[in-house]
Amino acid sequence: VYLATDERFGSKVAIKETLCMDASFRKAIEREARLLNSLKHAALPRVTDHFEEKNSQYLVMEFIPGEDLG
């Protein structure tokens, strides 16, 4: 997960990278992105975008500041 700045709005966002394995895995990540985008709950970050680049897929989501659980 990376901290980034949304170039359109200037806000901080979190970008989650997922390495793509095959076509079915890509479709599963797309379904996850659509599902997460439709969910509205205080305990979940809002997903605002999804894209693929090279051999990875990315979810762009609301950045929630706090301590790293690691």
The tens digit of pLDDT for each residue in 44-62 reads 888 989 998 888 899 999 9
Task: Read off the tokens for 8.
Answer: 């359109």
Q: Are 41 and 56 in contact (CB under 8 A)?
A: no
Task: Please tell me the pTM assigned to this model.
Answer: 0.79
- Is the pLDDT assigned to residue 5 strictly greater than 90? yes
Token duo for residue 4: 């980034």
Confidence of residue 67 (pLDDT cuts 50, 70, 90): confident
Q: How far is CA 57 from the centre of its chain?
A: 9
